[in-house]
Structure 1
């Protein structure tokens, strides 16, 4: 079982990094713009959005790595340590950082408590710009570390999200994503594990995914409507549709990225889900070979599996 879980845990973090890096060069482009310039993006591209070399990861993978390293160093969730690592990361002047994430980490740098920083930023934002993707994109390491403790997994997923993204849709989005990934790593069925405590808007979007994937409804009823904005509900709906429904992890990432929009994050989450399934085949070497962080990611996945986090 441990060997199988290792394959799935590595697949999860590899899928996250590959989706992030494949989507980075076309971030903010529409599907039609991507098709016009590239037909279909299937290879790691250089330049493009942010002007980085091929295979370059963004804040999605970098912040997930911060969380993974914190979990390993502390044998569990320490919000103060996670916050400190976020501050150190922002001090490196990353080329890609979301607005809410930057504002919340800036408050952490000023000494605000991790339980307060994200709420302060959230309360300052109007509806429509207060429920971004910045916490769901980075939360997968918790699913590996707490895969056998659903109560703890829910608690740390919500509390970690709230460090930068306190909106209930973001907090519960992390819970649903991590519960689903944890089940996949354990080898359970491929169900999308929503929580009835989640906001109705999130539950409704995820129910549509379940209806199409598992109740034999026409996929065109959903696929034509999938959005890839920076809104957490849109992102999770699209990422789950491809991450759970594609035959291979490679296909999941390619389909997600080529829809345009927030391509690195939608690709990263779809890749994390598909990579954790265990039945989607290995990610292509032509992708993994150009991602410099690959060995580090594999080592962190193995270390997360070995944790016995304290309550």
Structure 2
């Protein structure tokens, strides 16, 4: 897989660790207004990682949790059904205090999906404000009606069968990994949009997820890291992809607003908030893109993440998506090292990133050892 002049592994690590870093940075202020953020942390708001209400720094949220299970689904099959099963393993982490025994009878068709390396990691068994649509959609899929067919995404532009009116940002915040494994932006877009419908059926919800995956793929392919043009071109190409899909107007419009606002310069939290609160998918994507466009260089990642989280909205999700984008563009070395030192699960995230890079890199061989770690299903 060609990924430009940066090492492929470095880009994958940058994307996943950057997303986790933005997630953890924004988590302590996720439900706070910008006024309250300024009163608590000063006129500039957050200027770096701060403790959350538990007194801990660097804790990730459901955004990173689900992103990691997306990666595991890609490693264990790479299709919609494999990702669905991975998300059901994530659901276990939200319903139990620690890894539970399998509830599936031995020999049942889905027996294998209830086991896996991520499901056995105790640090992931924490509820960090998981999205209602993610939870309800997966619970519905876990209890299929007798004789009901397997989950099949709807055609693009039509409401999906699960939560058809939901376009929450729970689709976007978990979809960067599709751009790290697909051979091109179109296929990254399509797979991410299909898998977003596992929990969210509104077209804007799943098309915005597809747009993020396409952006990541285009940034990973960039040949000139360190310049700002690749990000601008990636946004334009992604809007061209969106234009081929029915019901793309909300997502395209949000990206167009982000580009227009970025061209004005002089970023402020108030300008960020003019793009929305990021509780819905297209707004989260637009805010992340806006913050990245204003801070496109490898030395600007920390500044971009701070802009992405200092607002009265879904700060962890916008921080996560912004980190995904700039991490994919510039690689792990561009991430603020002193912030990474506090990141929860850093080694596990980096290890999973390495496995994803190996699996979808050039010359990978699926060995018995690999299958033991990532069985199909």
TM over 0.5: yes
Cross-structure match for 2:136: 103
Cross-structure match for 1:259: 311
Cross-structure match for 2:89: 85
Deviates more, 1:272-281 or 1:200-209: 272-281
Structure 1 residue 21 corresponds to structure 2 residue 10:
no
Deviation of the 1:244 alpha carbon: 2.9
2-structure distance, mates of 1:271, 1:187: 17
Q: Which runs of 5+ in 1 are unaligned?
A: none
Deviates more, 1:14-23 or 1:287-296: 287-296
Cross-structure match for 1:187: 222
Cross-structure match for 2:327: 275
Cross-structure match for 1:232: 281
Task: Confirm or deny: 8 A CA contact 1:59 1:97 kept in the other structure.
Answer: yes
1-structure distance, mates of 2:285, 2:197: 17
Rg larger in 1 or in 2?
2
Alignment of 1:54-69 (within 5 A): 54-69=57-72
Which whole-Å deviations, capped at 9, do the CAs of 1:114-150 have from their partners, x for residues lacking one?
A: 4479945524x5xxxx21100100111111011x233
Cross-structure match for 2:194: 159
Task: Confirm or deny: 8 A CA contact 1:75 1:308 kept in the other structure.
Answer: no
Q: Which ranges of 4 or more aligned residues in structure 1 deviate by more than 6 Å?
A: none
Deviation of the 1:218 alpha carbon: 5.5
Q: Which runs of 5+ in 2 are unaligned?
A: 97-125, 224-229, 362-377
Task: Confirm or deny: 8 A CA contact 1:13 1:297 kept in the other structure.
Answer: yes
Structure 1 residue 174 corresponds to structure 2 residue 209:
yes
Cross-structure match for 1:45: 50
1-structure distance, mates of 2:194, 2:327: 25
Q: 1:279 to 1:160 in 2, by over 3 A?
A: closer
1-structure distance, mates of 2:211, 2:195: 14
Structure 1 residue 205 corresponds to structure 2 residue 238:
no
Task: Confirm or deny: 8 A CA contact 2:15 2:332 kept in the other structure.
Answer: no
When the two structures are superposed, what TM-score results if normalisation uses the length of structure 2?
A: 0.72
SS at match of 1:41: coil
How many residues align? The count is: 299
The structure 2 residue matched to 1:141, chosen from 155, 171, 177, is 177
Q: 1:27 to 1:223 in 2, by over 3 A?
A: closer
Deviates more, 1:77-86 or 1:3-12: 77-86
| Higher percent of residues as helix | 1
2-structure distance, mates of 1:293, 1:168: 33
Task: Confirm or deny: 8 A CA contact 2:153 2:161 kept in the other structure.
Answer: yes
SS at match of 2:76: helix
Q: 1:251 to 1:307 in 2, by over 3 A?
A: same
Q: 1:162 to 1:275 in 2, by over 3 A?
A: same
